[in-house]
Amino acid sequence: MPKIEVPEKMFFSLAGKTYTDDEMNEIFPVAKAELDGREEGTIKIELNDTNRPDLWSAAGVARALRTYRTGNIPRYDFFSSRTKTMDSGNRVHINYDSCLGIRDFSISFAAEGCEVTEELLVNLIQSQEKLCQNFGRKRKTIAIGIFRSDLIEYPVHYIGADPDKTAFVPLGMEEKLTLREILEKHPKGKEYAYIIKDKPRYPYLYDNNGDTLSFSPIINSAYLGAVKVGDKDLFVDISGPIIDDILLAANILACDMADMGFRILPVKVRLAKETKYGKEITVPYYFQEETKCDVSFVEKELGLALSGEDCVEALGKMGVEASVKDGVITVRCPEYRNDFLHSVDIVEDIMIGHGLSKFEPVLPNEFTKGYLSPAEEYSRKVKGLMVGMGFQEMMYNYLGSRKEYIENMHISDDKVVFIANPMSENYEVVRPSILPSLLESESVSGHAVYPHRIFEIGKVCFKDDEDNSGTVTRNNLGFLAADNQIGFNEASSYVQTLMYFLRIEYTLEAVEGDERFIPGRAAKVMHDGIEIGRYGEVHPQVLESWGCSMPAIMAEFDLDLMH
């Protein structure tokens, strides 16, 4: 979960009240947060909701506390919408066709009237990084640049540039480099090159004087992008492939900066392609839809009789504007939020706004006796056998990266289940097999005395057109053994021992086309004409992909087919 550090003085000023540690522990849950520590004038806060990026800043948490305490809903007068367009003056930001397919959108707003202090600058950078790293999936879907607005000549231009002919001095360096050289030489270029290195053109932002603002999503220029203490005029750019995400990020930053004392100046953005909001948007832009919920549904979910007026009052304490008519609550989502996807989300805010302490604990009126499922009983039996053969049990995550589960295993992704909008590329795939997890352990265990014998019993998931959901989850056993002389015969002996004690009659068939195993040294395990598993010697290319230095055998069985 995201963690932030905020200066006490700034935080209490934004919150409108000085809090003791006990008071913060009591009130922080309204912001879905916990006090993680307090030292030398700094408050450490842990945020517990990945759907609320507006809370990942000092201003965001302070706004939630201030609103809950006072009941005053924050109002911001600088937002355009479908029915209203704010005056953008001469501030124009143009997207060109050359950026399409590279990084489709770049939007912006400006701010003035508040002197940048060291404290404020550090917090702005922290908010920027949290949005980019967590909400923006390590800059893949959101990248934010903050610039010195007084040096910018409008209009600002966003293009897909030739990586070998476009050059500027990047922030933190004194040498002019081409965009491609930045990916090779600059620390940020090396870190984030994977996002755009294979594109034919690179995202590039410059002003009407031809001065570079940034090479998005990599690095700002050393001139316009070097915001310093004492600056008063700022320009904020947000780029990415998904229009709703970058609009929300812009709205969050605009509201945070307004709370810090800036006056927000809208920018007219001309996009390179049509969106559901049109081809020209004045940013910040309110794009959220109204959500509705029946009062009866609130009562049912919370088990508490609340009137429509009670619900509206509770939502107001959460900064949410609402009205009630004929038993239906209509909610206007705040500009800095976009998390009301279902009536349950409204109920959650009503619950928190009403006060968690007002809900009395209720004992269950029915008591049931728990017992192990047949699948769990069978799994425990298999675990006992594996331990008896000298294997050590492991436990792993069920989510991982494409590199771990697909590329390193040299398999196709046809049957693999991907997360639609992962917070991190490290957790974008539901594991289709236990074997990658075992190989990862082996890759970091070269210092341990051989032989290595490890196993896990756990769930795997993969696509299945015959299932109503399109996917199927299975209970599998996976095991791996590594030693300098280990081979197919040892693997066969482990399988034979396991099948003997499980009383399973089986036959073997040759494995073809499975690049995880050495050809001719792998076998399918068949029972009643159905494949229940396979095993063999790990292919050297797979071992190399994982960085394993010792020969290994591995096997995986579908326990649901075995009992």
Structure tokens belonging to residue 184: 């090779």
178 - beta bridge partners? 167
Residue 14's Cβ-count burial label (10 Å; 0-12, 13-18, 19+) is: buried
CA atoms of 12 and 41, how far apart (whole Å): 11
**In the structure encoding, which two tokens stand for residue 39, read together?**
């030292």
Dihedral of the CA atoms 1, 333, 281, 199 (nearest 10)? 30
Q: What backbone torsions phi and psi does residue 329 show, to the nearest 5 degrees?
A: -90, 130
Question: What are the chain's domains?
Answer: 3-70 (3.30.56.10), 92-283 (3.50.40.10), 291-356 (3.30.56.10), 374-561 (3.30.930.10)
SS3 287: coil
CB 404 within 8 A of CB 546: no
How many Å apart are CA 232 and CA 261, to the nearest integer?
11
Per-residue pLDDT of the chain (563 residues; tens, 9 = 90+): 788 999 999 999 999 999 999 999 999 999 999 999 988 889 999 998 878 999 999 999 999 999 999 999 999 999 999 999 999 999 999 999 999 999 999 999 999 999 999 999 999 999 999 999 888 988 999 999 999 999 999 999 999 999 999 999 999 999 999 999 999 999 999 999 999 999 999 999 999 999 999 999 999 999 999 999 999 999 999 999 999 999 999 999 999 999 999 999 999 999 999 999 999 999 999 999 999 999 999 999 998 889 999 999 999 999 999 999 999 999 999 999 999 989 999 999 999 999 988 888 888 888 888 899 999 999 999 999 999 999 999 999 999 999 999 999 999 988 999 998 787 788 899 999 999 999 999 999 988 999 999 999 999 999 988 888 889 999 999 999 999 999 999 999 999 999 999 999 999 999 999 999 999 999 999 999 999 999 999 999 999 999 999 999 999 999 999 98
* Residue pair 250/281 in contact by the 8 Å Cβ criterion: no
The partner residues of 430 in beta bridges, in order of sequence, read 399, 417
Hey, which bits of 211-290 come out as E strands?
Answer: 212-215, 219-220, 234-240, 263-265, 267-275, 278-283
Closest residue by Cα to residue 297 from 309, 308, 289, 283: 308
127 phi and psi, to 5 degrees?
Answer: -65, -45
Handedness of CA 482, 485, 491, 497 (dihedral sign): negative
pTM across the whole model: 0.72
Q: Which residues pair with 106 in a beta bridge?
A: 239
